[in-house]
């Protein structure tokens, strides 16, 4: 697959320069290392250090807080490049990005000044904690509670599937501060919990060993167990006015996170296509190269078309957000289409490889295990279709 056409996407020269720098980093530092990190399920500290030098962790943080002040469109295209190299690395960035976007949108100025400069450099990395063992899509069913105790909150409960759970220094955590609220979301609050990165037990917070997964390896995925863990009341996102606003704040974070997942889908599918067309040129069957068989040509044509369509949906969603428009429908469409497309394209690439696709010596095997995560992360396809339908009906009514 040819790289994105910067002119067709109407990118400014400075955007192009940034994306080319990211692409060079992916080619030189991520692709050659991904297989060894993934096989060992080892966190890629060296790669993360390089991303910090590139300024990736401050991509969308305003310059006045030490970031690069780039728009969501540039960020999504950069994530496509990174996911093309190794999807797990883009996951490390995503929860950090969600946290910083929530602070920009809903944080107090004191919270922004205190946290965003540290996040911009990657010195403090963010995690996003909403799901619990008994509930994923049904967010209002969470049971974690935070009880006010003077100038503190005491938190008890258990969170699940937390990316960056151990190494993060800041965790956006959804809790119930009013368990009896009706509707339940009216009693939810987001706490920006600061913690010591890499420490498994601190105060009333315990972080068990990371969960083992089919794919999406290398990036840590953990539980968070709170047992009367104390945090200052100043941890409430948005200050006192933020109490009871946590559900809406977290949903705004998930909305921009869906753009990230869509971009990841494009990147992983693009890599699968590259591997497939390369193999189709190298492999011969029935006396001619694989790519000269019409059945394979049709597969490649369909794969390339789907990738281009998914990228355009992703860019459209990102630009809607950049323009300050409500984009729940657009991000839902991009995430739904790109994640399903990625699964389909990766499977077709796997089929083109034949038996070799089943071997760990071939990169397509890793992509085949990574792709399913995108069907679930930031909301399942079924949830996306619900969001899209409700949004379209509301717009029509309006």
Number of Cβ within 10 Å of residue 166's Cβ equals: 20
Which tokens go with 258?
């869906």
Is 109 a known active-site residue?
A: no
CB 129 within 8 A of CB 173: yes
Residue 288 half-sphere exposure, CB side, CA atoms within 13 Å? 5
Nearest alpha-carbon partner for 119 in 194, 226, 24: 194
Q: Indicate which residue of 220, 223, 255, 378 is catalytic.
A: 378
Number of CB atoms found within 10 A of residue 361's CB: 7
| Structure letter (DSSP) for residue 355 | G
The answer to whether the CB of 307 falls within 8 A of the CB of 300 is no
Indicate the DSSP class of residue 133: T
Distance CA 232, CA 103 (A): 17
- Listing DSSP states for 25-84 in one string gives HIIIIIHHHHHHHHHHT---HHHHHHHHHHTGGGTTS-GGGTS----HHHHHHHHHHHHH
Residue 118 · residue 194 · CB < 8 Å: no
Strand locations in 265-328 (E) = 284-285, 288-289
Known catalytic residues are 378
């Amino acid at each position: 697959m040819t790289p994105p056409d910067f002119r067709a996407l109407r990118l400014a020269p400075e955007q192009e320069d940034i994306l080319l720098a990211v692409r060079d980093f992916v080619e030189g530092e991520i692709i050659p290392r991904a297989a060894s990190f993934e096989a060992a399920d080892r966190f890629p500290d060296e790669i993360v250090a390089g991303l910090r030098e590139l300024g990736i962790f401050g991509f969308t943080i305003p310059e006045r807080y030490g970031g690069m002040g780039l728009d969501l469109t540039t960020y999504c295209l950069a994530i496509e490049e990174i996911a093309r190299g190794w999807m797990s690395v883009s996951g490390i960035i995503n929860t950090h990005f969600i946290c910083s976007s929530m602070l920009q949108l809903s944080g107090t100025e004191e919270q922004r000044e205190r946290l965003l400069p540290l996040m911009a450099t990657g010195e403090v990395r963010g995690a996003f904690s909403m799901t619990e063992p008994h509930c994923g899509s049904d967010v209002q069913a969470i049971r974690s509670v935070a009880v006010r105790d003077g100038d503190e909150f005491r938190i008890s409960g258990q969170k699940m599937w937390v990316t960056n759970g151990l190494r993060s220094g800041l965790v956006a955590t959804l809790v119930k501060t009013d368990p009896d609220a009706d509707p339940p979301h009216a009693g939810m609050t987001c706490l920006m919990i600061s913690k010591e990165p890499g420490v498994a037990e601190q105060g009333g917070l315990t972080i068990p060993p990371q969960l083992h997964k089919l794919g999406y390896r290398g990036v840590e995925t953990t539980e968070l167990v709170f047992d009367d863990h104390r945090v200052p009341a100043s941890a409430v996102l948005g200050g006192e006015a933020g109490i009871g606003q946590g559900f809406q704040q977290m949903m705004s974070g998930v909305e921009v996170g869906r753009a990230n997942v869509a971009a990841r889908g494009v990147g992983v599918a693009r890599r699968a296509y590259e591997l497939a067309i390369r193999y189709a040129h190298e492999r011969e069957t029935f006396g001619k190269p694989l790519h000269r068989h019409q059945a394979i040509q049709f597969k490649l044509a369909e794969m390339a078309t789907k990738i281009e369509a998914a990228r355009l949906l992703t860019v459209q969603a990102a630009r809607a957000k950049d323009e300050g428009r409500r984009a729940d429908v657009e991000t839902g469409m991009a995430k739904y289409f790109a994640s399903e497309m990625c699964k389909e394209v990766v499977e077709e690439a796997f089929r083109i490889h034949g038996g070799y696709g089943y071997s760990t010596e071939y990169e397509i095997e890793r992509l085949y295990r990574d792709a399913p995560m995108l069907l679930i992360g930031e909301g399942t396809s079924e949830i996306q279709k619900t969001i899209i339908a409700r949004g379209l009906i509301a717009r029509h009514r309006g």
